[in-house]
């Protein structure tokens, strides 16, 4: 039997992806994905559309989200999977998390202007289809269009990465809130792309220990955001901490993403996947 292809991390134009939720489902299906979760940033408004599209394609879709969290002064992303997307506390919590984005975007526009790149806030808005969800990727697309950088990756390297002068830090949700909203809605909380965080070893231990104490269950091991070295490192972390392992492309766009939907290595066979009991959890 060939292994089922799970892609449990990707984005639509409800956050900073390019495709509509139904287009994400169609592309995933065409790429051979068997089980998909659309995980828009701080937003579940695309979940109904992607599930409906999945149903007509014969693609199994589980609800997903990627919540922005501030932990130890840095941004950490927590993916939620297989929850009730209509849960009132979750929906309200995500709405509150989105609130800071517009004022932050205006501030980022000012920073970029002072760095010689005027009009970036207005320019970024042209790339936003969900007005509450303006983020760094929309700015990156504008700066490429305006000719300041050759591609989105360069924008992050030079101006908008976590330690670059053009980005503005926000106080996102707390880890406790994010895990609480996901668990309260019957889902599973997973640390997204741990290889991306610039934590010191003791901060990583604190993140993993606190996450487990709060009821988090998984980490992403195989993701478009990890090198193969990082995938090996976090496979070891999963073994040491007893985390369930997740797999997701973090696909945003056919032209910008390093990895297309479903096109990434399978999990190491000895890890217990986050989906190991999904047959049992599926609502009757």
Interface with Mn ion includes 226 (CB under 5 A)? no
Tokens of 130: 């969900």
Pick what 156 binds: Mn ion, ligand AMP, none; C-beta below 5 to 8 Å, kind-dependent: ligand AMP
Interface with Mn ion includes 16 (CB under 5 A)? yes
Q: Which residues bind ligand AMP (CB under 6 A)?
A: 16, 41, 68, 135-137, 153, 156, 161, 252
Binding positions for Mn ion, 56-95, rule CB under 5 A: 66, 77
Tokens of 52: 């409906």
CB of 73 to ligand AMP, least distance (A): 15
Alpha helices in 99-200 (DSSP H): 101-114, 120-125, 136-145, 152-155, 175-184
Interface with Mn ion includes 42 (CB under 5 A)? no
Of 104, 113, 114, residue with least CA distance to 172: 104
Q: Which residue has tokens 């051979």?
A: 32
Q: Which residue has tokens 């901060």?
A: 203
Q: Are strands 6-7 and 35-36 parallel, antiparallel or unpaired?
A: parallel
Pick what 161 binds: Mn ion, ligand AMP, none; C-beta below 5 to 8 Å, kind-dependent: ligand AMP
Around 32, how many Cα atoms within 13 Å sit in the side-chain half-sphere?
8
Pick what 27 binds: ligand AMP, Mn ion, none; C-beta below 5 to 8 Å, kind-dependent: none
CB of 153 to ligand AMP, least distance (A): 5
Tokens of 67: 């919540």
Comparing CB distances to Mn ion, the nearer of 9 and 29 is 9
Q: How far, CA to CA in Å, does 152 sit from each of 53, 58, 105, 165? A: 29, 33, 17, 16
Comparing CB distances to Mn ion, the nearer of 43 and 250 is 250
CB of 132 to ligand AMP, least distance (A): 12
Interface with Mn ion includes 7 (CB under 5 A)? no
**Which single residue brings its beta carbon nearest to Mn ion?**
77
What 3-state class would DSSP assign to 215?
coil
Comparing CB distances to Mn ion, the nearer of 66 and 260 is 66
CB of 96 to ligand AMP, least distance (A): 15
Interface with Mn ion includes 136 (CB under 5 A)? no
Comparing CB distances to Mn ion, the nearer of 7 and 49 is 7
User: Phi/psi of residue 143, each to 5°?
Assistant: -65, -30
**Which single residue brings its beta carbon nearest to ligand AMP?**
135
User: Which distant-in-sequence residues (6+ apart) come within 8 Å of 240 by Cβ?
Assistant: none
Mask of contacts with Mn ion, 176-215, x by CB under 5 A?
----------------x-----------------------
Interface with Mn ion includes 141 (CB under 5 A)? no
Angle between helices 47-57 and 21-30 (to 10 degrees): 40
């Amino acid at each position: 039997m060939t292994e089922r292809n799970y892609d449990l991390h990707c984005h639509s134009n409800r956050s900073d992806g390019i495709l509509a939720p139904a287009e994400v489902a169609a592309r995933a299906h065409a790429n051979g994905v068997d089980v998909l979760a659309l995980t828009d940033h701080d937003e579940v408004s695309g979940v109904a559309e992607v599930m409906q599209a999945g149903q007509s394609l014969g693609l199994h879709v589980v609800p997903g989200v990627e919540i922005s969290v501030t932990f130890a002064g840095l941004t950490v992303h927590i993916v939620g999977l297989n929850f009730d997307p209509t849960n009132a506390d979750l929906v309200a919590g995500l709405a509150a998390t989105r609130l800071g984005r517009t004022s932050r975007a205006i501030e980022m526009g000012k920073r970029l202007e002072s760095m010689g790149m005027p009009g970036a806030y207005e320019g970024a808005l042209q790339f936003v289809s969900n007005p509450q969800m303006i983020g760094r990727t929309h700015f990156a697309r504008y700066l490429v269009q305006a000719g300041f950088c050759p591609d989105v990756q360069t924008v992050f390297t030079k101006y908008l990465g976590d330690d670059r002068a053009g980005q503005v830090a926000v106080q996102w949700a707390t880890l406790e809130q994010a895990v609480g909203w996901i668990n309260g809605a019957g889902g599973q909380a997973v640390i997204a792309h741990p290889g991306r965080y610039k934590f010191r070893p003791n901060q990583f231990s604190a993140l993993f220990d606190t996450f487990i104490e709060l009821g988090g269950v998984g980490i992403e091991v195989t993701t478009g955001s990890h090198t193969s070295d990082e995938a090996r490192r976090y496979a070891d972390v999963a073994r040491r901490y007893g985390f369930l392992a997740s797999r997701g492309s973090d696909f945003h766009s056919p032209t910008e993403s390093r990895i297309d939907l479903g096109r990434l290595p399978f999990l190491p066979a000895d890890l217990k996947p986050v989906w190991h009991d999904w047959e049992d959890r599926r609502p009757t």
